[in-house]
A = this chain, B = another copy of it.
């Protein structure tokens, strides 16, 4: 790892080539009514429409594609609350190699079921008493499986960076240079990938990582200039974004690319799910909706230093949410609104 050259733009271009005709090029959507209400142009990149319902498929497939064939044939292992799990499971299935996925027992039902449906061997662990990385390591050693990390791996970040590449190309096609791109931020794989892509493809664009307020480790780490963990005892419905600390590889990229970060409450995420539902007809999961939530916030210009009449892009990173939770979010946001 090197801070000076953490991940090259060319690696993202190569990932885009690898994913061509395999991953979906998700469209860039907007709502005339929503733009009018906001007084600015808001473009949404719906990675909930990606294969497996989240952007995670991109990094997983790109990583498997880059493994030597003999090593890949032995199989892969991953730990994940659900979206990376599904991404790795589908990629493994496409390459017809085994996949073992370590998931927390309290992950959303839909994510566990789908991961199994893609043919992966799912091992559930207790988030409070067991160490997923140790389980993973044991499996990797005993069965010869290659670990596919959820974010702290260059091939994974390069795959996620293709989201940024597509945003720049799609904005260019409609003659727009976005002032900011808001990205849901857990371990920082998507945010650092998008920032790397845009720093070359759209250097005037500010990238903003968005976290749940109880898991604002990136906000605090960028402020402090070093990797800090989250405060103990936090909770959030954004199950995809519960990483305790920015990644070793991702964090220096965020710093080098001048990424900013902010956080939103779960209620703001639920309201953003309602906006995605009503204005764009999209299903967003809570963690998938945080960037949209930040882009919708009236004060977003303050923390991002962005002209309030500007054009912004928000990535909806995933849509894997149980029906009960989705219904609750819709009705809750409605009561509030």
Q: Identify the A interface with B (CB < 8 A).
A: 24, 27, 29, 32-33, 36, 46, 48-49, 51, 53, 90, 110, 114, 117-118, 274, 277-278, 280-284, 319, 323-324, 326-327, 330-331, 334
Complexed CA–CA distance, A90 and B36 (Å): 13
Complexed CA–CA distance, A36 and B116 (Å): 13
- Which of the residues B27, B51, B110, B326 comes within 8 Å of A49, measured between beta carbons? B27
| Neighbouring B residues of A326 by C-beta, 8 Å | 277, 327, 330
- Which of the residues B29, B51, B118, B323 comes within 8 Å of A278, measured between beta carbons? B323
Nearest residue in B to A327 (C-beta to C-beta)?
B327
| Neighbouring B residues of A277 by C-beta, 8 Å | 283, 323, 326
Given that A274-B323, A330-B326, A330-B327 are known contacts, is A33 also in contact with B118, CB under 8 Å in the complex? yes
In contact, B33 and A114 (Cβ under 8 angstroms): yes
Nearest residue in B to A328 (C-beta to C-beta)?
B327
Pick 15 A–B contacts, CB within 8 A, sort by A.
Answer: A24-B29, A33-B114, A33-B117, A36-B117, A46-B281, A49-B281, A49-B282, A274-B323, A277-B283, A281-B282, A282-B282, A323-B331, A324-B331, A324-B334, A326-B327
Complexed CA–CA distance, A179 and B36 (Å): 42
In contact, B32 and A281 (Cβ under 8 angstroms): no
| Neighbouring B residues of A114 by C-beta, 8 Å | 33
In angstroms, how far is the closest chain B Cβ from the Cβ of A27? 6
User: Besides A32-B90, A32-B118, A323-B330, 8 other CB < 8 A contacts?
Assistant: A29-B49, A32-B51, A49-B280, A49-B281, A49-B282, A110-B278, A323-B331, A327-B327
Nearest residue in B to A29 (C-beta to C-beta)?
B49
Nearest residue in B to A337 (C-beta to C-beta)?
B323
In contact, A281 and B53 (Cβ under 8 angstroms): yes
Nearest residue in B to A51 (C-beta to C-beta)?
B32
In angstroms, how far is the closest chain B Cβ from the Cβ of A56? 14
In angstroms, how far is the closest chain B Cβ from the Cβ of A169? 16
| Neighbouring B residues of A284 by C-beta, 8 Å | 281
Complexed CA–CA distance, A49 and B225 (Å): 42
Complexed CA–CA distance, A110 and B41 (Å): 22
In angstroms, how far is the closest chain B Cβ from the Cβ of A249? 29
- Which of the residues B27, B274, B331 comes within 8 Å of A27, measured between beta carbons? B27
In angstroms, how far is the closest chain B Cβ from the Cβ of A258? 32
Nearest residue in B to A326 (C-beta to C-beta)?
B330
In angstroms, how far is the closest chain B Cβ from the Cβ of A90? 7
Complexed CA–CA distance, A288 and B90 (Å): 29
| Neighbouring B residues of A51 by C-beta, 8 Å | 32
Cβ-closest 7 pairs across A and B? A281-B319, A327-B327, A281-B283, A48-B281, A323-B330, A33-B117, A323-B334
Complexed CA–CA distance, A234 and B326 (Å): 31
| Neighbouring B residues of A117 by C-beta, 8 Å | 33, 36
- Which of the residues B29, B49, B331 comes within 8 Å of A327, measured between beta carbons? B331
